[in-house]
Amino acid sequence: MLPIMLDLSQAPAVLYGRGGGAVRRLALLREAGAADLRVYGDAAVQAAAGACWRGERPSGKELAAARAVFLVDVPEAAEMAAAARAAGVLVNVEDQAALCDFYTPSVVRRGDLVIAISTTGKSPGLARRIREKIETLFGPEWAGRVAQLAAARNDWRRDGVGAAEVARRSDELMRNEGWL
C-alpha cells in the first residue's frame, strides 16, 4: 500500500450508504474538505447530508463522474464498486477490503497536521486505538504550530533561501520551540 493524501476540495466525490456508518463517513469527508460531495442513501444519511443530498441511489453515470466513491453498508456494493472502477474512479467500501482501491485511515487532524493510521484494512479497531493514543501526544496546539512553521517557511522562500537552508531553519525552529 502507498499512503497518499487525496485532495477532494476540487474533485467530485460520491458517498452512498446507510445508517450511522454512512453518517460518520459523511462527517469525515466534510472534515477533509470535500467540496463537491454528492450523497445518496437512506433517511439517516439524507437528514445529515443537507444540500449534498442527491437521492436514494446513484446511477452509473453519477458514479463515473466522481474522483472517488465511498460505499457504506449497501447490499449492491460489489456491483457499484465494479461500475465505478470500470470508469476509472477510486473506490472505498467500508469493511470490505477486497472491494477497495484504497482504505480510509483512522485520522488525527490538527489544522493542517493530518496523521493517518492504517492497518491496511486488517484491524480497524487497532488503528482506532493507535489514533486515540496519538491524539494524546498531538493536541490542538499543533494546528498553530503548523501554521507558525508554514509562515516562517514562506517568508524564508520569499527571501530566496534555498531548500536545504529552509529545512535546516525549520529543524532549528522546532528544536528551539521544544516541539519534538
Look at residue 160 and tell me whether its pLDDT is greater than 90.
Answer: yes
**pLDDT tens across 40-52, in order?**
999 999 999 999 9
Specify whether 6 is located in the same domain as 30: yes
Specify whether 53 is located in the same domain as 95: yes
Q: pTM of whole model > 0.85?
A: yes
Mean predicted confidence (pLDDT) in 149-169: 98
Helices within the chain (DSSP H only):
19-31, 43-49, 60-64, 77-86, 124-137, 141-158, 163-177
Measured in whole angstroms, the distance separating CA 163 from the mean position of its chain's CA atoms is: 28
Mean pLDDT of the chain: 95
Q: What is the pLDDT of residue 84?
A: 97
Q: Give the CATH number of the domain where residue 48 resides.
A: 3.40.50.720
Specify whether 100 is located in the same domain as 125: no
**Of 146, 153, 109, 107, nearest to 130 (Cα)?**
107
Residue 70 contacts residue 94 (beta carbons within 8 Å): yes
CA torsion through residues 155, 156, 157, 163, sign: negative
Q: What is the pLDDT of residue 98?
A: 92
Q: What is the pLDDT of residue 172?
A: 98
Residue 8 contacts residue 32 (beta carbons within 8 Å): yes
Q: Calculate what percentage of the chain has a pLDDT beyond 70.
A: 100
Per-residue confidence band for 3, with pLDDT thresholds at 50, 70 and 90? confident
Specify whether 120 is located in the same domain as 40: no
Q: What is the pLDDT of residue 141?
A: 98
Mean predicted confidence (pLDDT) in 58-72: 97
Axis-axis angle for helices 141-158, 163-177 (nearest 10):
150
From first CA to last CA, the distance across the chain in angstroms is 28
Look at residue 97 and tell me whether its pLDDT is greater than 90.
Answer: no
Query: Which residues span the domain enclosing 115?
Result: 105-139
C-alpha cell belonging to residue 116? 493517518
Specify whether 30 is located in the same domain as 119: no
* Strands 68-72 and 12-17, bridge-based pairing: parallel
**pLDDT tens across 119-135, in order?**
988 898 999 999 999 99
Residue 25 contacts residue 95 (beta carbons within 8 Å): no
